[in-house]
Amino acid sequence: MTAILEIRDLHAYYGKSHVLHGVDMIINEGEIVSLLGRNGVGRSTTVKAAMGQVNSTGSIMFKGKEIIGLKAFEIAHMGLGYVPENRDIFPSLTVEQNLILGEKPGRGANKRGRWSLDDMYQMFPRLRERQHTQAGVLSGGEQQMLTLCRTLMGDPDLIMIDEPTEGLAPKIVGLVAEYLNELKNRGISILLVEQKLAIALEISQRVYVMGHGAIVFEGTPAQLKENAALRKEWLEV
């Protein structure tokens, strides 16, 4: 398999606070990988570092090119998408305006990406119903759908999604799992930061578990299920 994202000896800092301690991780093309762990262990910092939003050292190779030191917009233009936990929608703009803002600059009529507005509305009919509504009045679940779709409009090759099911009703959580599999079927690699173990184990090909700013386990969902001691130490409350 070909690696699309390769993280080696990643250290990250918030001021003088040393958050990540030599993280190693590989995401292959066409793969869903979950990054698991309790709150505060460095999962979100890992994806923010990959997106150029955190002061970091080490190596992050995306599609064979080093991206540490690049600005976030430069990384996004290379095809790395990021759906943050806080959603970051533009509340005063409509749903459709938010989606259009996600399109990669310079895409002309002959450079159509994998995703269109119609694709977004077919995946999430609720967004079609709300396309002329200001995004700030959407429910939490609708805002999560919107943020995911806005990122897809940039036609990423890999998408990093931070806690997509946080605060969502169980029915919507199930839909999110279906949509993530659909993204994989369309050739998009996914790094999923998730606390809900069930959804991560259901859709992932591989999982990493993080503790105290370092990777403490890498393996298949089946291997993690079999390792009760590790789950108890690093995952269960």
Its domain, for residue 70, covers 1-79+188-237
135 is a domain residue: no
Cα–Cα nearest to 151, from 208, 89, 61: 89
Question: What does each of the 237 residues of the chain score in pLDDT, given as a tens digit?
Answer: 899 999 999 999 999 999 999 999 999 999 999 999 999 999 999 999 999 999 999 999 999 999 999 999 999 999 999 998 887 899 999 999 999 999 877 654 445 567 889 989 988 889 999 999 999 999 888 888 899 999 999 999 999 999 988 877 787 788 888 888 888 888 899 999 988 888 899 999 999 999 999 999 999 999 999 999 999 999 987
Residue 120 within any structural domain of the chain = no
Q: Which tokens sit at 191?
A: 């790094």
On whether residue 99 sits in a domain, the answer given is no
**CATH number of the domain that residue 31 is part of:** 3.40.50.300
Q: Domain tally for the chain? A: 1
CA–CA dist 215, 191 (Å, integer): 15
| Reported pTM | 0.91
C-alpha to C-alpha distance for 1 and 44, rounded to whole angstroms: 26
CA–CA distance, 50 with 36 (Å, rounded to integer): 17
Residue 149 covered by a domain:
no
Give a yes or no: residue 31 inside a domain: yes
Tokens describing residue 52: 């150029």
Q: Is residue 59 part of a domain?
A: yes
Residue 134, in any domain of the structure: no
